[in-house]
Amino acid sequence: MIELHKAGYSYGQDAILRDVSLQLAPGSFHFLTGPSGAGKSTLLKLCYGDLLANTGTVKLLGQDARDLSRDALAKVRQRIGVVHQDCQFLDHLSITQNVALPLAVSGRDVEAEAENLAQLLAWVGLSPRAHALPPELSGGERQRAALARAIIMGPDVILADEPTGNVDWEMSQRLLSLLVELNKMGKTVLIATHDLGLIRAAKAQVSARVLRLAGGSVQLAGADL
């Protein structure tokens, strides 16, 4: 699905990732952990083509990210659902319209998908807030809406960047359950988080691989997690 081979990335002179090799196999569940500033978000951005590796190669759905044209990258992003840390909503559109945005930009008939859209909003528990604007939602509701938008296109891979960063324990468990459920449907999931409690809770529900990002490289985390 997504494969990094000796990938490196630098912001100016500061190398944040060095020789990172990682393979997200279909149906796998990964956690990416590490201290703040370790490069978790940068690594995720390499995984959906928002950044291009300075060294090494990154393959997105079998295609070298460097060789992708803008249009080809847009198509790849329709198959990789991303839950961004800051949600990235359009504040002038309702939650329903924001969730439907990937359908609209890919040229699909949003009206024809209205029932699926309603079911999805119900699944993430946002039916009563369907017509609210993003600034009117709580942190947990925003994260659930972001998850709904990430999966509306039925992607093969779901990447989540600190999805529980701004929510309470109960809500983070609810979000985790949704992601575990998606993984059980066959989706590949990668969650970047520094919330070790979340990882421990997940390991009780799903077979997850935990990767620790430190010093610019990725290691498999030990059994202490």
Partner 1 sequence: MKQIWAILSGAPDADRVVPPTGFTVWLTVFSAAAMAFLAVFALALSLAAERLSVRWGQELARTSTVRISAPSAQEALQTAAALTVLETTPGVARARALSDAEQEALLAPWFGADLPLDALPIPRLIEVVEAGAGYDAEGLRARLAAEAPGAILDDHTRWRRPLIEAANRLRTIGWVSLLLIMLSMAAMITLAAQSALAANAGVIRTLRLVGARDSYIARAFVHRFTMRAALGAGLGTVLAMGAVAALPTADVAGGFLTGLGFWGASWLLPLLIPPLAGGVGFAATRAAALRALRKMP
223 sits near partner 1 (criterion: CB under 8 A): no
Subset of 12-51 contacting partner 1 (CB under 8 A): 48, 50
Nearest to 172 by CA among 181, 183, 163, 159: 163
Place of tokens 């997105």: 60
Q: Choose the binding region for partner 1 from 30-38, 69-77, 136-144, 214-222 (rule: CB under 8 A).
A: 69-77
130 belongs to the binding site for partner 1 (CB under 8 A): no
Helices (H), the chain: 40-47, 70-77, 95-99, 101-105, 114-123, 139-151, 169-184, 196-203
Q: What is the DSSP letter of 37?
A: T
Name 42's bridge partners.
Answer: none
Nearest to 124 by CA among 106, 105, 137: 137
Q: 29 vs 89, which CB is nearer to partner 1?
A: 89
**Of the ranges 70-78, 116-124, 166-174, 186-194, which one interacts with partner 1 (CB under 8 A)?**
70-78
Question: Is residue 58 helix, strand or coil?
Answer: strand
Residues in 152-181 that interact with partner 1 by CB under 8 A? 153
**Which residue's CB is nearer to partner 1, number 70 or number 207?**
70
Alpha-carbon span 107 to 109, nearest angstrom: 7
- Interatomic CA distance for residues 60 and 73, integer angstroms: 9
Under rule CB under 8 A, residue 61 binds partner 1? no
78 near partner 1, rule: CB under 8 A: yes
Beta carbon nearer to partner 1, 45 or 212: 45
- Asked if residue 74 binds partner 1 (CB under 8 A), the reply is yes
Shortest separation between residue 18's beta carbon and partner 1, angstroms: 23
- d(CA 143, CA 128) in angstroms, rounded, equals 16
Kindly state whether residue 9 participates in binding partner 1, applying the rule CB under 8 A: no
Q: Which is nearer to partner 1, 121 or 218 (CB)?
A: 121
Binding site for partner 1 (CB under 8 A): 48, 50, 70-71, 74-75, 77-78, 82, 84, 88-93, 97, 101-102, 104-107, 110, 149, 153
